[in-house]
Amino acid sequence: MQRRHVLICAAAAAACMPGLSSAQAYPSKPITIIVPFAAGGGSDNIARLVAAKLSEKTGKTFVIDNRGGGGTNIGNDIAARAAPDGYTLLLGQFTLSANPFLYGNLRYKTEAFVPVVHIANAPTVLVVPATSPIKDVQGLIAAAKASPGKLNYGSGGAGTSVHLAGELFRLSTATSLTHVPYKGSAPAVTDLIGGQIDMIFDTSTSALPYIKGGRVRAIATAASQRLRALPDVPTFAEQGLKDFDVPAWYGLLGPAGFPAQAVQWLNGHVNEILKDPAMLAQLDGIGAIAVGGTPQQLGAFMGAQAARWERVIKESHIKLD
């Protein structure tokens, strides 16, 4: 795992090497952002928000290319094999931290990507049916220990961030919970609302509309601080469960060899739009927290995330081949 972390950071450092000629105007044509999900989900919303703000700020054209399927491996592979000319980006997210340990036959290598900028995090939120007797984290732990295996949690499928957040909770609390995988998040949420499942460790961008509408109840946020969109929902740490900061993260990455000039231009402009009050308000509105920072910081973050999920996946004996 240390080697993977070093390689990711090395890729970030390589971005500082000479790329496009300094005399070459960048960008001189539209920039494509590959989103490894179908249109309409949380990742797509983040990508379109960033693309719109970048276009507004720079006057340049950004195009969203949705390439869903294969647990994001289709889109990730397309991005990894794209020409490293500065005009194709990947909206990297959670699966880059987990898929190398879930699948044994990936065609791409995570460390081959060049980190550009960390856009935002969408913390995991523990939600239960509105009628659930479970009111807080300690109540959930007590109920789970009193009846091992009786309580269940749903997810949009095996290996998703929602599934692995549940496994991390189970391992962190020494409890026994039953995982109920669905074919997508929508049917899982439908059954949660109807009380057919006990809980979901959902992303804030996905859960927020249902929480605001009173259809489910949030009992904890997996972040270092409370979400501004959910100020009354305490964090896991506030309820006694430390080190349970579980973000769905979003960042821009380029294929190996991505030019340093492009990295610098994109990183600078994204960091600027992440300071825009209008942009921050829009991120708040969908339950996301702006991050920003350097390419090296994104590379280090990805390395830490990979180390965490490698452990969870191995200890939970999850394989998707």
Q: For helices 42-58 and 204-212, give the axis angle rounded to 10 degrees.
A: 100
Identify how many contiguous H helices and E strands the chain contains and give both numbers. 11, 10
**Which pLDDT score is estimated for 306?**
95
**Which pLDDT score is estimated for 20?**
53
Identify the sign of the CA torsion 294, 296, 301, 302.
positive
Burial code (b: 16+ CB inside 10 Å, e: under 16) for 121-160 equals bbbbbbbbbeebebeebeebbebbeeeeeebebbbbeebb
274 three-state secondary structure: coil
**Which pLDDT score is estimated for 235?**
97
- Rounded CA-CA distance 36/31 in Å is 16
**Which pLDDT score is estimated for 24?**
65
List, for the chain, all residue ranges whose pLDDT scores fall below the cut of 50: 1-10, 12-18, 22-23
- Rounded CA-CA distance 37/20 in Å is 30
Q: Which amino acid is at 150?
A: K
Sheet strands (E) in 151-282: 152-155, 178-181, 199-203, 216-222, 247-254
Label the pairing between strands 247-254 and 152-155. unpaired
Label the pairing between strands 178-181 and 114-129. unpaired
**Which pLDDT score is estimated for 130?**
96
**Which pLDDT score is estimated for 202?**
93
- Rounded CA-CA distance 42/205 in Å is 6
CA-based nearest residue to 309, from 200, 166, 196? 166
**Which pLDDT score is estimated for 268?**
98
pTM, two decimal places: 0.88
Length of the chain: 321
- Rounded CA-CA distance 214/128 in Å is 11
**Which pLDDT score is estimated for 12?**
47
- Rounded CA-CA distance 221/212 in Å is 15
- Rounded CA-CA distance 178/151 in Å is 6
Sheet strands (E) in 255-306: 289-290
